[in-house]
Amino acid sequence: MMPPISDPLNILIVDDTPDNLRLLAKMLEAKGYLVRKSLNGRMALQSVHHDPPDLILLDINMPDINGYEVCRQLKASERTRQIPIIFISALDQVNNKLQAFESGAQDYITKPFHELEVLARVQNQLLIQQQQRQLLRQNQQLEQEIQDRQKAEAEIWHLNVDLERRVKARTLELQQALTFEATLKRISDRVRDFLDSSQILQRAVEEVAIALEVDGCDAVLYNLGQPSMGICYRATAIRSEVTQQQTGHRLDTAEIYTQLHYQRLTFAFCPLRPTANDDTASVLACPIFDDQVESVGILGDLWLFRPAYSSFGEMEINLVQQVANQCAIALRQAKLYEAAQAQVTELQRLHQLKDDFLSTVSHELRTPIASMKMVIQLLTTLTHQGETFLTQLVDHANQRDKVMQYLTILREQCDRELSLIEDLLSLKYIEAGMFAQQPAPINCQVLLTSLIASFEARIHRQGQVLQVHIADNLPSLYYDPPLLKRIVAELLTNTCKYTPRGETIAVTARLVPRMPTAVARNPPPCLQITIANTGVEIPATEMERIFDKFYRIPHHDPWKQGGTGLGLALVKKMVEQMGGTLQVTSADNQTCFTVCLSV
């Protein structure tokens, strides 16, 4: 048997008899093969060179170029010689078969052929070809592995020579690195404990001064990224102080400013003329900047001072850079915290405004429609109870019928407008996270049976066929009963609208198992409710959009079907609010909506 394949195998059939082509193609396509057809040898050669197939079924007696010549030309080409060829011919002489194999064929089938024989020989040749390709790949992989191993052995020999020399130096570096890593961790933990900019920089300069044993450590924090205005924090191994100044650092000259603030370089230097109150001869300057807030630019500087004839090592410079990065992160967190506090206050205000808006809209939209509906009901009642009112309005019976018709239309439009308002408000409440559920135990069989019964008269009136399959073992669920009723009712309403007369509406409710996951090896089953109808199919191009708000499938008259255009969008939101899933499939003249809820 053929091993499983991911893509259908490509088979070319070459025969000048169309009936043979159709018969072979039907036979092979039924087994999942991709079949191409050619009526003569010249077309077959062009097709093979353009797109080589996995197998060729070749007839011998053909006009223009016979099968032997086609086979020889294919075997002579480097591009096509590996394609297996099976001759299918009515010639049954031994010399015909010998000539076929001499021209390069792999097999020979005599007409009239049998389906099982053809399929068996095709599968056999494809399996042989696949095994040959696999063997070739394995040989190439083995050769590559041998080359890689030889190369790796040579590299290992050279590395071993250099390794011993580097081990001792590296050990010393690692010891120093571990020391600095512990120092950096301690400084990072201390710095990130604060959400105030001044405390962050004060703690940073204190820790760096002690860790590197420098004469002094300064941190300059600029106001809004302007070096001319800032606060300077200074610390030594003995004491720390905070001073505020209106200019930059005392050593922040034009050359240093360019390297720190524009090039963002960390560098050590010796001033040519130290200040009168400072005999420091070795200085390390490091910028504090935040890559994630590019518009702010430079946040500040770190300055370290040591006496004459001293220097800063590479690992010390790296430590200072890491401390500057931690300071930048901590300063950003402080700014974010301040912004977050302001946003929390603003969000609380907006949340209150949103609550007030929804309450206002709910009242102001519902009240007029409800009043109109009540007045229409009163007018209708008066019309039915006495003729006096109608006599005052009209004189003829046909005019009375029109009045009743107009009242009915007005009442239906009010109902539709009220339904639209209710759907809009429900949707907005769910999207705003304000939809409050009231879970309670639900007897699924009773709820679904009574709900379906309310639709039976409508379905019968529309000439549709109803099928109900509710399992006997449905458990009691703990959900919001009105919410579940509304979901099923919306789906049934939608199905009744679009099911043609004489077609079937099927409602099914059952328990289905769920696949194990890494979190739950034996997950509980879920309740699956499916509502399907025949006689209508949703185009594949519209499937992804049917849950969009106000979206309607093209070529369906919205005024004829009525509705708010929010039904399916609202149902999907409600199902997700209950923690379930809603899926739709449409094929073979049938559309099916499936709701799955956890048990």
Assigned domain for 593 exists: yes
- The encoded tokens of residue 125 equal 């040749």
Q: Which distant-in-sequence residues (6+ apart) come within 8 Å of 138 by Cβ?
A: none
Q: What's the confidence (pLDDT) of residue 321?
A: 85
Q: Do 103 and 194 have their domain in common?
A: no
pLDDT tens for each residue of 105-148? 888 888 888 888 888 888 988 888 888 888 888 998 998 889 88
Q: How many domains, the chain?
A: 3
**Alpha helix (H) ranges present in 192-253?**
197-212
Q: What's the confidence (pLDDT) of residue 378?
A: 67
DSSP code, position 474: P
List for the chain the helix, strand, coil content (%; round to 5): 50, 20, 30
- Distance CA(187)–CA(374), nearest Å, equals 74
Residue 276 β-bridge partners: none
- Contact criterion met (CB below 8 Å) for 114 and 93: no
- The encoded tokens of residue 390 equal 């109608």
> Mapped to the 3 state alphabet, what secondary structure does 21-63 carry?
HHHHHHHHHCCCCEEEEECCHHHHHHHHHHCCCCEEEECCCCC
- Distance CA(545)–CA(566), nearest Å, equals 12
Assigned domain for 203 exists: yes
Q: What's the confidence (pLDDT) of residue 573?
A: 83
Q: Which distant-in-sequence residues (6+ apart) come within 8 Å of 257 by Cβ?
A: 227, 248
> Mapped to the 3 state alphabet, what secondary structure does 135-171 carry?
HHHHHHHHHHHHHHHHHHHHHHHHHHHHHHHHHHHHH
Q: Do 445 and 545 have their domain in common?
A: yes
Q: Quick one: which of 307, 287, 285 has its CA closest to 297?
A: 287
Which residue is listed with tokens 């009136």?
461
Assigned domain for 315 exists: yes
> Mapped to the 3 state alphabet, what secondary structure does 528-566 carry?
EEEEEEECCCCCHHHHHHCCCCCCCCCCCCHHHHCCCCC
Q: Do 117 and 241 have their domain in common?
A: no
- Distance CA(360)–CA(571), nearest Å, equals 25
- Residue 330 CB-half CA count within 13 A: 27
Distances (CA, A) of 443 to 142, 301, 430, 473, 528: 66, 70, 25, 11, 15
Cα-flanking dihedrals φ and ψ of residue 20, to 5°? -65, -40
- The encoded tokens of residue 556 equal 């369906």
Task: State the 10-residue block means of pLDDT for the chain, 599 residues long.
Answer: 61 89 89 90 89 90 88 89 88 84 87 86 88 87 88 85 80 76 79 76 81 82 60 66 52 70 78 59 83 66 83 84 84 82 78 60 60 67 52 53 64 61 63 70 87 88 91 84 85 88 92 75 84 88 75 52 65 84 89 89
DSSP code, position 104: T
Question: DSSP states of 431-449 as a string?
Answer: HTT------EEEEHHHHHH
> Of 120, 135, 150, which residue sits at a domain end?
135
Cα-flanking dihedrals φ and ψ of residue 537, to 5°? -140, 135
CB atoms within 10 A of CB 507: 23
β-pair type (476-479, 440-443): antiparallel
Assigned domain for 181 exists: no
Q: Do 458 and 591 have their domain in common?
A: yes
Q: Do 555 and 482 have their domain in common?
A: yes
Residue 468, SS3 per DSSP? strand
Q: Do 196 and 306 have their domain in common?
A: yes
Assigned domain for 304 exists: yes
Within the chain, how many helices (H) and strands (E) appear? 14, 18
Q: Do 319 and 197 have their domain in common?
A: yes
For 315-375, where are the E strands, in sequence order? Answer: none
Which residue is listed with tokens 């590299």?
155
> Of 301, 332, 363, which residue sits at a domain end?
332
Q: CATH number of the domain that 544 lies in? A: 3.30.565.10
Amino acid letter for position 409: I
Amino acid letter for position 287: P
Q: Do 23 and 126 have their domain in common?
A: yes
**Angle at the Cα of 457 from the Cα atoms of 456 and 463, rounded to 5 degrees:** 90
Q: Do 14 and 101 have their domain in common?
A: yes
Residue 282 β-bridge partners: 306
pLDDT tens for each residue of 443-490? 888 888 888 888 888 899 999 999 999 988 888 888 888 888 888 888
Q: CATH number of the domain that 113 lies in? A: 3.40.50.2300
Q: Cβ-count burial of 59 within 10 angstroms (0-12 exposed, 13-18 middle, 19+ buried)?
A: buried
Q: Do 498 and 590 have their domain in common?
A: yes
Q: CATH number of the domain that 283 lies in? A: 3.30.450.40
- Distance CA(219)–CA(285), nearest Å, equals 10
Amino acid letter for position 560: K
Q: Which domain holds residue 252?
A: 189-332
**Angle at the Cα of 321 from the Cα atoms of 318 and 324, rounded to 5 degrees:** 155
- Distance CA(85)–CA(357), nearest Å, equals 77
Assigned domain for 432 exists: no
Q: What's the confidence (pLDDT) of residue 386?
A: 45
Handedness of CA 188, 190, 193, 199 (dihedral sign): negative
Q: Do 197 and 129 have their domain in common?
A: no
**Alpha helix (H) ranges present in 192-302?**
197-212, 254-257
Assigned domain for 131 exists: yes
- Contact criterion met (CB below 8 Å) for 21 and 39: yes
Assigned domain for 356 exists: no
Q: What's the confidence (pLDDT) of residue 246?
A: 47
Q: Do 449 and 567 have their domain in common?
A: yes
- The encoded tokens of residue 75 equal 């075997």
Q: Which distant-in-sequence residues (6+ apart) come within 8 Å of 203 by Cβ?
A: 187, 190, 191, 193, 194
